[in-house]
Each structure stands twice: as structure tokens, then as C-alpha cells.
Chains A and B, each alone.
Chain A
Amino acid sequence: MIKILAIALTVLLIALTAAYARRFSIGKEISLAGARAIVQILILASIIIILFKLPFYWSFPVLIAMAAIAGYTTYSRSGRLENGLPVAILSIAAASLLLLIPFFLLGIFPFEARYIVPTGSILIGNTMNVSSLAIDRYRGEVRNRRAEIEAYLALGAKPELASSACLKQGIISALIPSIDNMKNLGLVWIPGVMTGLLLAGADPVEAASIQVSIFASIFAAGMIASSLLLRYFTNSFFTKAAQLKEDPD
């Protein structure tokens, strides 16, 4: 009964928001995004039901599929740069997995799909957001600072050095939301993991400790993935003769 009520509430809210948002010409997008969200999350729930009955390592194909979709999203944000798709997928998958493993090795969570899939998805989703923001901002910085980059090149600097200030700005800008989230943790909102644990009846201090470690992992994974990605994408802004390519826009 609860699930039917929750879905009914979701449909009602999406319909009302979309109706209101029509005046901003985004009613259709909201309806579509809402419909997709409902279908996708129900499919995921069905997959999780199956996963719960299987050995834990079956969780990893699901996480890899999530990382592939996340990589594609970031790749699209990059303006579909050459060879960008495999690099985006690998960066997001590697950074997320690296930060996921300690939770299980240290025994914070047991090796069960119930823990692996949600924790992994939190890391993948947030790493995707940071990476997409970083690449978007990096492209913007390179576009806006052409004169500066060419001044560096004209003095004999290599492209990596010429664009390093733009890269740095890209990473900083992408991490600002995560930093703000950490700063406001517990002050403005109770984040998802802690909320879930509290609803499930966990000890508040234990829930808070897990939440803060998840936040730190999100931050670290975002930084690792965006650093890898942006370093790789630097080459795509320049020709082999160290010339800044024409702005495609």
C-alpha cells in the first residue's frame, strides 16, 4: 500500500510541477524526466530484488553499467571530445571503486549487494556530477582565456602549462558544491545515507559517522576522476604542434 501511495504522490507532484513550469517552457522536460525517474528507479528496485538473492559479486556488473551511463553523461558534457567516452567511463569507474573498497575491507559494510549497490551508486553519481561540472567549466575557461593561453604558448610553454590555470579553475569550481555540502552537513539538511540509516533504526552516531565517511569519499572520488579526465582532455584542446584549436562554438 505504501509503495502505491508514494508513486501516486510522485506522479501528482510531477504533473503539478510540469503544469506550472509550462510558463517557463520546461513543462515537457519535467514530465519526461519525472516519467523516466519513476520507470528507471522501479527497474533498479526490481534488479536489486534479484541481486539480493545472488552472491555479492553480481553487484559489480550493475555498478559497471552505472559507471558506463555516468561516463556517457560526462562525455556528452565534454562536447564529445575525441576518445572521451572510454576515458570518462574509466575515470569515473576507477575513482568510485577505489573509494568504495575501503568501506568493505574495513568492515564498515558487509559484502552484500544491499550495501555494495547503493554505496557504489552514490559514489558513481556524485563523481559523475563533479566530473561533468569540471569538464564544462574547463572548456569555458579555455574558451574565455584564449589570449592568456596563447601568450604562454608564444613564450615556449607546453600546452599543459599554458592551460594549467584553466584546469585548476575547472576542478575548484566542480568541487565547490561538495565543499559547501560538507560545510553544511548536519546544519541545513540531513543527507540521504544518514536519513536512510535513521529510518532503518540505526544508532544516530553510527549513522552520522558513516555519512561523513561517505561524504569524504564522494569528495575524494570526484577530485580523482575530474583530475584524470581534465588532464586527458587537455590534449584535445591543442593540435600536435601545440596550437590552441579553434573554438568549435
Chain B
Amino acid sequence: MDNFHLELKNVSKAVLRKVNNTRVKTQILSNIDLNVRKGDLVSIMGASGSGKSTLLRLINRLSERDSGDILLNGKDIRYYDPMVLRRKVGMMFQVPVVFKGSVRDNLAFGMKLWGKDVDIQTLSRDAGISENLLDADAKHLSVGEKQRVCMARALANQPEVLLLDEPTSALDAASAERIEKLLLRLKLEKDLTMLWVTHEKDQARRIGGTRLILRDGRLEEDHD
């Protein structure tokens, strides 16, 4: 039997969407199956509103699936403490959200929750954050810098899986390329399992790994 790091079995989810000011229940994910081995990279493409973000949110339980099973290391994610699960399954969002305080405060946040210290120097170096920025107010950084802070902040928790919800789509081309390269390097160095949602086919090709498309609530392999 294969030992998958992450497994989705028959996962379905409906969401409420506003149509003409009334809320309509829409089936967004239908019987999704997905097996991911440790250290694998899976890119997920799909049209806007196709459920890509929802799919990621089910894996760290920011949202709850309606049916099906999601297993991490063979264990149903419902049996993890959600706070522990979210440390194991980190997430980067499309629009970076930094917390009040300095860059250093942001990087130390995750570990501080568990009463541990974090090696800020190594972390910032890994994420390409200049040491001069460590004591800067995080709210005053550029969007690209903020996204790097968010990346480092997620990595500080030493996750096994990293969920990337279009992490470069809000950035200019140069910043996007930099984040993309950083993420791929860190994936190799830390043997991270990555699920990377993107709407750019070129990006999906560049980053490699398995390419999937979410269409009409179902995941299909992209052979183009």
C-alpha cells in the first residue's frame, strides 16, 4: 500500500454564493480524490471561482468539507487539534496580511504561540529578507516584501505541507519571480509537500510537479 503524505478521498463542498442578492448554495467541489507523496509539488489551476482556494482551505481546516475524508500522514485531519494541524499545514494567501509590529515580531509569531524561540537570522536569510528590514514596521513594507514576510512566518512553524493560494498574483513580475524561486528552493531544502494554486499556466509549467485543473468541481490532470 502506498504511503501518501496527503490524501483527499471523495471530498465535496458546497458554498453559499450571492446571486441577485439572494444566497444560493453552489456545489463547488464534487468527489475530489487526490494523493500527494511527501515532498511532491502539485499545481492546481482553474478559472476564477472554480474552488481552488476552497480546496486549500479544507486541507488546513479554515473551512469544513461537507463529505469525504482528508488524511495527513494517514490520519484524518478531524482528529488533529486544528491549531496543531495548521502548524503542520502552513498557508500563504494571495494578498499578504502582516500583523501589527515589526518584521521580527511577525516572524517570531508562530513559535511564540508555543513558547519557543525562532532563529530570525536564518529565517530571514532563507526568505530573502534584508536584515535592515527586521526592525521595520511590517505594515510599511512593499507588497512583495510583505509576501516574503508571510512566507517566512509560515515557514517558521516548520510545516510539512505548504498551501500556496496564488502567492505571486498580487506582486509585480520581478517580486513574483523572486518569491517563486525562493519557494522552489525552500521546497527542495526542507522536503516540503506543496499544493500551489495558480491561474497562470506558464507558472504551473515553470514550477514543475503534477499539474491539475479544477473544472466543474472536479480535478483533472492537465496534459497541455
Contact = CB atoms under 8 A, between A and B. Distances in A.
Interface of A: 147-148, 150-158, 161, 165, 239, 241-244, 246
Majority secondary structure of chain B interface residues (helix, strand, loop or mixed): mixed
A241 B82 contact: yes
Given A157-B113, A165-B100, A241-B64, A151 B93 contact: yes
A155 B97 contact: no
Interface in B84-112: 84, 86-87, 90-91, 93, 95, 97, 99-100, 109-110
Contacts of B83: 156-158, 242
A177 B10 CA distance: 54
Contact of B157 (A147, A153, A155, A246): A155
Interface of B: 16, 60-64, 78, 82-84, 86-87, 90-91, 93, 95, 97, 99-100, 109-110, 113-114, 150, 153-154, 157
A155 B106 CA distance: 11
A166 to B, nearest CB: 12
A153 B86 contact: yes
Q: Which of B82, B87, B93, B100 has the most CB of A within 10 A?
A: B82
A156 B84 contact: yes
Nearest to B92: A154
24 contacts: A147-B95, A147-B97, A148-B97, A148-B99, A152-B99, A153-B62, A153-B86, A154-B60, A154-B86, A154-B90, A154-B91, A155-B87, A155-B109, A155-B154, A157-B109, A157-B113, A161-B113, A165-B100, A241-B64, A241-B78, A242-B61, A243-B62, A243-B82, A244-B62
A247 to B, nearest CB: 10
Given A154-B91, A156-B157, A158-B83, A241 B61 contact: yes
Q: Which 9 A-B pairs have the closest CB atoms?
A: A151-B97, A156-B87, A154-B91, A242-B82, A156-B86, A156-B83, A155-B110, A241-B82, A147-B97
Contacts of B84: 156
A244 B157 CA distance: 21
Contact of A155 (B16, B64, B78, B86): B86
A150 B86 contact: no
Given A241-B61, A242-B82, A156 B95 contact: no
A125 B90 CA distance: 47
Contacts of B110: 155-156
A147 B16 contact: no
A154 B113 CA distance: 12
